[in-house]
Amino acid sequence: MPAPDDLADWLRLEQTPGVGAETARKLLSIFGLPHNIFNSSLSALQEITGSRIAHILLDPPSDAITAQIARTREWAAHSENHVCTLADTSYPKALLEIHDPPILLYAKGRIELLSQPSLAVVGSRNASAQGISNAEQFAATLSASGLTIISGLALGIDTAAHQGALQALSHDPQAGSTIAVIGTGADIVYPARNRALAHQIAEHGCILSEYPLGMPAIASNFPRRNRIISGLARGVLVVEAALQSGSLITARMAAEQGRDMFAIPGSIHSPLAKGCHLLIKQGAKLVESAQDILEDLEYASAPVQAATDTGTAIAPADDAPYAQVLQHMGYDAVDVDTLGQRCQLDMAELHAHLLALELDGHAEILPGGLYRRVA
């Protein structure tokens, strides 16, 4: 973390009206540190930013900026909170490789994780039960092998990935843990439903943001933070994604950054598999297990362990009353009428078995009243 006076200059640069990230990086490349920018001549600044912004940079900081600096200093005084600048030795080298690294990073938790080998795991917010299970199990196995799991704290696949990594960490202190890259200030939890998970990550992993403290949830900030998710990682795994999923933005950024791309295939009839299938057509590596990823990355710092218990349902015995229904259901979505014809059961009996299968975690109901088997 920079010295207090240096931190104040960095925060002032970040908060200066009209100075976006691109302009700030340009100024830093020419003048070095923020202190030098604010002590430059008007003419030198005007050559880069124009007259209006140059005058703003040389004006004393506003009350709002001064208050934000004080707020950040108070926050950073807590041992678990960190503010990292582009000039700090603790700034993750992986982000220095991307073309638009944040000038400031706000981290809550284990900042050393930002420099550890990692893999991003992303996917749909409205994930299927199978997608949730896959994300959790892949993350648990990858974390148990020493990789830190990076995701975005969103509902669905992100949540499952974080939980899988934390579960592996609870079984083995040497596991890779998890990083949540968020689209709000580091002092705000979004979505609120993930508050308990965010506290767990802050304690055992790391919450990371490029946005100043107090920044609320703004839609445009979330796609932008995706470049940090992919930029920190050695590769990106897309578990489940529709064609319009934000996960494909992360995948595109990963490709631009030269990161490895992995995707889990699904049913040709599932909208949530179409994004993954598109990525595979475009060159992403099709993976069926965490071992596929570890082998491709040639990552073997620790023996690959079986994923910890993620709550996956135990397969029903062959003589279970609904085993016949499960056998005829398959892994593609099917409607009740078609399933009834396959099983030769009346509707009342079929619905009873479907309810039992859903309650036991062997099947899931999809939009449109369709059913699908869960592995």
Residues 69-121 have pLDDT tens digits of 999 999 999 999 999 999 999 999 999 999 999 999 999 999 999 999 999 99
The pLDDT assigned to 4 comes to 65
In 157-293, beta strands by DSSP E: 178-181, 206-209, 235-238, 260-263, 285-286
CATH of segment(s) 1-77: 1.10.150
pLDDT tens figures, 150-170: 999 999 999 999 999 999 999
For residues 162 and 78, what is the distance between their CA atoms, to the nearest angstrom? 24
The pLDDT assigned to 357 comes to 85
Q: How many CA atoms lie within 13 A of 342 on its CB side?
A: 13
**Residue 371 burial (10 A CB sphere; 0-12, 13-18, 19+):** buried
For residues 86 and 342, what is the distance between their CA atoms, to the nearest angstrom? 62
pLDDT tens figures, 228-263: 999 999 999 999 999 988 899 999 999 999 999 999
Task: Read off the amino acid at residue 363.
Answer: A
User: With 70 as the cut, is the pLDDT of residue 320 above it?
Assistant: no
State the pairing for strand pair 206-209/104-109.
antiparallel
CATH of segment(s) 111-297: 3.40.50.450
The pLDDT assigned to 300 comes to 59
Cβ-count burial 245-278 (b if 16+ within 10 Å, e if not): bbbbbbbbbbbebebbbbbbebbeebbbbbbbbb
Average pLDDT of the segment spanning 41-70: 96
Domain-by-domain residue ranges, the chain?
1-77, 111-297, 323-373
User: With 80 as the cut, is the pLDDT of residue 311 above it?
Assistant: no
- Which residues are 179's β-sheet partners? 150, 206
The pLDDT assigned to 269 comes to 84
The pLDDT assigned to 309 comes to 42
The pLDDT assigned to 368 comes to 77
Give the CA-trace dihedral at 351, 357, 359, 360, to 10 degrees.
Answer: 160
**Residue 116 burial (10 A CB sphere; 0-12, 13-18, 19+):** middle
User: With 90 as the cut, is the pLDDT of residue 214 above it?
Assistant: yes
The pLDDT assigned to 3 comes to 67
CA angle 240, 244, 245 (to 5 degrees): 40
One DSSP character per residue, 11-52 reads HHHHHSTT--HHHHHHHHHHHSSHHHHHTS-HHHHHHHH-HH
The pLDDT assigned to 42 comes to 96
3-state helix, strand, coil in the chain (%, to 5): 50, 15, 40
Query: Taking the CB of residue 328, how many other CB atoms lie within 10 A of it?
Result: 17
Fold of 323-373: Arc Repressor Mutant, subunit A (1.10.10)
Q: Which residue has the tokens 């909208």?
A: 271
Q: Which of 126-140, 157-171, 345-359 has the lowest mean pLDDT?
A: 345-359
Global pTM?
Answer: 0.84
The pLDDT assigned to 318 comes to 55
pLDDT tens figures, 18-40: 999 999 999 999 999 999 999 99
User: With 90 as the cut, is the pLDDT of residue 324 above it?
Assistant: no
For residues 347 and 367, what is the distance between their CA atoms, to the nearest angstrom? 19
pLDDT tens figures, 275-296: 999 999 999 999 999 999 999 9
The percent of residues above 90 in pLDDT, for the chain, comes to 75
The pLDDT assigned to 334 comes to 85
Mean pLDDT across the chain, nearest whole number? 91
